[in-house]
């Protein structure tokens, strides 16, 4: 159950809040749920957070990575992330795509470099609301998957986060059975598209809270969750991770 419940703190947190987060998390997490958890703090807090969580069995990841080190002002390399304890990185988050102009080709490049440097990857995909409403979700996702992983030899722990863009931070979610159908579809398409016919773990992201997690985790093809807003509170994040235990993987 490694890294199934991932908190994406985005550009949040502070030296003080990060300590409070861990105290709240520790007071509420069940021992057996800890190993399924992972958090992605902002880069500048990675070192502090690694120290705070010390030897607790929580994985640390970065929210993104750059394709190279060297003369790339302002960017963060895989080497630096690894140095600060990151075992994996998110790539292709819709906020990177919409706010910073990243394309599927950029995401593919990051995936290839990361795999080369033995950095595990959680790759986000997801459709805009108009595509969901017009029944175009599968075609949209097919296109994203095709452009990013076609003929790629995927690492064993390669993970996809299905995040409908319209569900991120809005409190709106697809119906649980729709999420399950899409996760099954993603597994099938990745299997037929990747070079090594890999069937990935698929986690769901978009307005997951402790109120809806239990229902979500009942779905067969939901292998975990990527959590934004609700991961900023240590107690809420722990409650979600505790509910994942019922999945009995
Ligand atoms: C996200 O941005 O990855 C996310 C899932 O956000 P939220 O949980 O706040 O919808």
CATH number at residue 147: 3.20.20.70
The answer to whether residue 143 sits within a structural domain is yes
The answer to whether residue 215 sits within a structural domain is yes
The answer to whether residue 235 sits within a structural domain is yes
From the alpha carbon of 93, which atom of ligand 1 is closest?
3
The answer to whether residue 175 sits within a structural domain is yes
Average pLDDT, integer, range 117-140: 98
Domains held by the chain: number = 1
Q: What is the 3-state secondary structure (H, E, C) of the chain?
A: CCCCEEEECCCCCCHHHHHHHHHHHHHHCCHHHHHHEEEECCHHHHHHHHHHHCCCCCEEEECCCCCCCCCCCCCCCHHHHHHCCCCEEEECCHHHHHHHCCCHHHHHHHHHHHHHCCCEEEEEECCCHHHHHCCCHHHHHHHHHHHHHCCCCCCCCCEEEECCHHHCCCCCCCCHHHHHHHHHHHHHHHHHHCCCCCCCEEEEECCCCCCCHHHHHCCCCCCCEEECHHHHCHHHHHHHHHHHHHHCC
The answer to whether residue 246 sits within a structural domain is no
- pLDDT band (50, 70, 90) for residue 56: confident
The answer to whether residue 46 sits within a structural domain is yes
Residue 154 has pLDDT above 80, yes or no: yes
What separation in Å is there between the alpha carbon of 70 and the centre of ligand 1?
31
pLDDT of residue 246: 83
Top pLDDT among 54 and 110 is at 110
pTM: 0.97
The answer to whether residue 224 sits within a structural domain is yes
Residues in contact with ligand 1 by the CB-under-6-Å rule are: 8, 163, 168-169, 205-208, 226-230
Residue 249 has pLDDT above 60, yes or no: no
Give the range of the structural domain holding residue 72, as residue numbers without chain letter: 5-240
Whose C-alpha lies nearest to ligand 1, atom 4? 228
């Amino acid at each position: 159950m490694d890294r199934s419940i991932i908190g994406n703190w985005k550009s949040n947190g502070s030296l003080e809040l990060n300590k409070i987060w861990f105290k709240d998390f520790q007071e509420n997490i069940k021992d057996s749920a800890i190993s399924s958890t992972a958090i992605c703090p902002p880069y500048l807090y990675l070192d502090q957070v690694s120290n705070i969580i010390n030897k607790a069995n929580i994985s640390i990841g970065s929210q993104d990575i750059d394709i190279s080190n060297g003369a790339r002002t302002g960017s963060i390399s895989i080497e630096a992330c690894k140095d600060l304890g990151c075992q994996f990185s998110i790539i292709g988050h819709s906020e990177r795509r919409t706010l910073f102009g990243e394309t599927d080709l950029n995401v593919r490049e990051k995936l290839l470099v990361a795999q080369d440097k033995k950095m595990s990857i959680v790759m986000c995909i997801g459709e805009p609301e108009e595509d969901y409403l017009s029944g175009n979700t599968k075609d949209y996702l097919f296109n994203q998957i095709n452009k990013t992983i076609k003929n790629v030899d995927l690492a064993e722990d390669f993970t996809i986060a299905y995040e409908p863009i319209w569900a991120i931070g809005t409190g709106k979610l697809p119906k649980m059975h729709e999420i399950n159908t899409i996760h099954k579809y993603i597994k099938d398409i990745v299997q037929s598209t990747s070079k090594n016919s890999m069937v990935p773990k698929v986690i769901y992201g978009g307005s997951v809270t402790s109120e809806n997690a239990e229902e979500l985790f009942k779905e067969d093809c939901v292998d975990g969750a990527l959590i934004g807003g609700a991961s900023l509170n240590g107690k809420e994040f722990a409650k979600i991770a505790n509910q994942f235990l019922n999945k009995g993987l």
